[in-house]
Amino acid sequence: MKKLKRSFIIVGSILGIAILIYILLGFHARSNMFFVPEVAYVDLMPILKQTSFSEEDYNTLYHQTGLAAPMIDILKKEPDFEETILRFQTKYLNSPRIVKTAMTPVTNIDVVQDETGKQVAAFELAPYDNGYIFLTKSTYTYNWRHGHAGIVIDKVRGKVLESLEPFTVSMEQNASKWTLYPTFKMMRLKDTDQDQLDEIARYATENMQGIPYNILAMKNNKPVPSSTHCSHIVWHTFNQFGIDLDSSGGIFVSPGDIGRSPYLETLQIYGFNPDKDW
């Protein structure tokens, strides 16, 4: 009888801990749904009229538009630079209407909808190029907000290589679909010319499509893995060029691990805290 009672206590304790973890994960999932910019509107025209920007200027622009310094420098070359920045500011400072939708019986996706329930773009994609990395926090399973990742493989056609869900294979998707998420982060390798990024994207195009999905796909050095998932496909592609994007160094890699990589620089965020890596 004592052994039976002890067994009930142990099982009850395990269930209690599991329930507590589930509740805490649920709170974390809800709290990370969207980061509301904690800044007041700033008139950016005095900054935009300048011929060069200080570190403080770049910081202000980042917190007002979600566009980091490297992207500001890219856009500054365009004739409609001021108009573009103000357009990004308007979108960035507005909070979207976020709705949870089912991707699978256990996995959900946060999307943005208008008042009629139609899915709409939450923000505008800044210019992107081959080899750039897209990340979002807006997918979660059993309250675990693991996120999603993809790599741009064809900027001309607007295509991103992704590994999506069980019983599917990796495939190209439209880059525009990423604007439907209420969280987004665009990154690229630091100090790397576009020729190398083109080569990385070409490798992904030729070798990383049609691979079966497996959430438990582990890192390895094979030229082509037997299975993959969203962040694994990004990690594996770059690893073929001697670049380990997994900031945690574990046997598995997540979108957050890639988002924290010291080898990457941020270009654009939306719904992310600008003062945190992830």
pLDDT tens string 259-273: 999 999 999 999 999
State the total domains in the chain.
1
Q: Assign residue 223 the CATH number of its domain.
A: 3.90.1720.10
State the average pLDDT over residues 151-157. 99
Model pLDDT, residue 5 = 52
Angle between helices 194-207 and 230-239 (to 10 degrees): 120
- Within-domain flag for 220: yes
**Overall residue count recorded for the chain in this entry:** 278
Alpha-carbon distance 123 to 89, whole Å?
A: 10
| Rounded Cα gap, residues 58 and 238, in angstroms | 29
Position 188 pLDDT exceeds 60: yes
Write down the mean pLDDT value for the chain: 90
Judge whether 198 lies within some domain: yes
pLDDT in tens, 71-80: 999 999 999 9
Specify if 25 maps to a domain.
Answer: no
In a domain, 61, yes or no: no
Query: Residue 105: which domain range?
Result: 32-38+91-270
The torsion angle over the Cα atoms of residues 73, 76, 78 and 81, rounded to 10 degrees, is 130
3-class state of residue 257 by DSSP: helix
Of residues 142 and 127, more confidence is placed in 127
**Is the separation of the CB atoms in 200 and 241 below 8 Å?**
yes
Average pLDDT over residues 247-252: 94
The residue ranking higher by pLDDT, 250 or 27, is 250
Q: What is the mean pLDDT of residues 78-97?
A: 97
Whole-model pTM over 0.85: yes
Q: Does residue 210 belong to any structural domain of this protein? A: yes
pLDDT at 19 over 70: no
- The answer to whether residue 86 scores a pLDDT higher than 70 is yes
CA distance 41 to 88: 13
In a domain, 239, yes or no: yes
In a domain, 115, yes or no: yes
Question: Is 21 a domain residue?
Answer: no
